[in-house]
Amino acid sequence: MPKIIAIGNMKGGVGKTTTAVQLAQALGKRGRTLLLDADEELQCAVFWRAGDFDGWQFEAIPFRDAGADQLTGYEYVVIDTKGNEQAADLVALAGDSDLLIVPTRPEGVSATGLLRTLRPLIEADVKNYRVLIVANEGGRGDELRETLAEQDIPVLHTIVRKSTAVGDAAEQQIPIEAVGGRYAKLVAVDYASVAREVLSDV
């Protein structure tokens, strides 16, 4: 059975699809990887992966098209959940996954949304989740990570920096590492570090 890593948050616009795509790309270098896109309306992850770039390291299909037999042969399955997941959905998702990654931006609105997302997981005594801080600017990410750690909330050590390379990569339908430039490479390195942390937890 593959290791299943789900990416979810009750708030949209927190880097969920970017994290799913880049994590799948990093994991794909270590073993056969499938990304399941559960956003039935937008299918952003499937669209991003659908470009003709020949350096993709994973496959991507809509979640609705994935039967149990289609998961055979994969070492890792990454699930990009739909936007605005409900509390019960996230708890169930964590139960069906080896690890649930909750991405968040280190800013006011996203941080407030993070508390709403985490509350049902904490109340259900879910242990297999980790917060990932993305799109960091200045020291806000470090401050948020320290605050979460002080509250015994499991948070990944790696903080993904902010870069316009993310938007460029999505627009060009290529992984961030292929965009070119120093900052794109640094963001790709950040996600490679995230993948190493994820593998140590699954």
Q: List the structure tokens of 198.
A: 């994820």
Give me the percent of the chain exceeding a pLDDT of 90. 68
Q: What pLDDT, on a 0 to 100 scale, did the predictor assign at position 10?
A: 82
Question: Which pLDDT value is given to residue 89?
Answer: 87
Contacts 24+ apart (CB under 8 A), 66-72: 66/34, 66/36, 70/34, 71/1, 71/2, 71/34
Give domain status of residue 124, yes or no: yes
The mean of the pLDDT values for the chain is 91
Whole-prediction pTM: 0.93
Query: Residue 119 is encoded by which pair of tokens?
Result: 């509350």
Q: Any idea what the CATH number is for the domain that residue 80 is in?
A: 3.40.50.300
pLDDT at 4: 96
Q: How many domains does the chain have?
A: 1
In a domain, residue 202? The reply is no
Asked whether residue 65 is domain-assigned, the answer is: yes
Tell me whether residue 157 is in a domain: yes
List the domain range (segments joined by +) for residue 58.
3-197
pLDDT band of 133, cuts 50, 70, 90: very high
Distance of CA 190 to the CA centre of its chain: 12
Angle between helices 182-201 and 16-28 (to 10 degrees): 80
Residue 70: inside a domain: yes
Mean pLDDT of 103-109: 83
